[in-house]
Structure 1
């Protein structure tokens, strides 16, 4: 359940980062971090389904 929450937070950060990256480099970094959170939470979801 927690991994789905992380996934939605990461997705939101990624979308906001893409939208605001033209205005600010900090938001681009936030978007990259969001993408990392998505990747990590996706790995957790897949791992939990396998076990």
Structure 2
């Protein structure tokens, strides 16, 4: 029984870590996309100068 509980608890913990990792990666990706869009929007005006 304890082994079964341990086996059940482990994947859930791993899933939570995976969700946290995915969320952090998503936040980093969104920040990168925003920076890229900002750079793309401002680059023509910088190039024109």
Shorter-chain TM-score tier:
0.5 to 0.7
Gaps of 5+ in 1: 1-22
Runs of 4+ aligned structure 1 residues displaced above 2 Å come to none
Query: Which has a greater percent of helix?
Result: 2
The structure with higher relative contact order (CA 8 Å, sep 6+) is 1
Q: How large is the RMSD of aligned CA atoms in angstroms?
A: 1.0
Using structure 1 for the length normalisation, give the TM-score.
0.53
Aligned length: 29
Gaps of 5+ in 2: 1-6, 36-49
Using structure 2 for the length normalisation, give the TM-score.
0.55
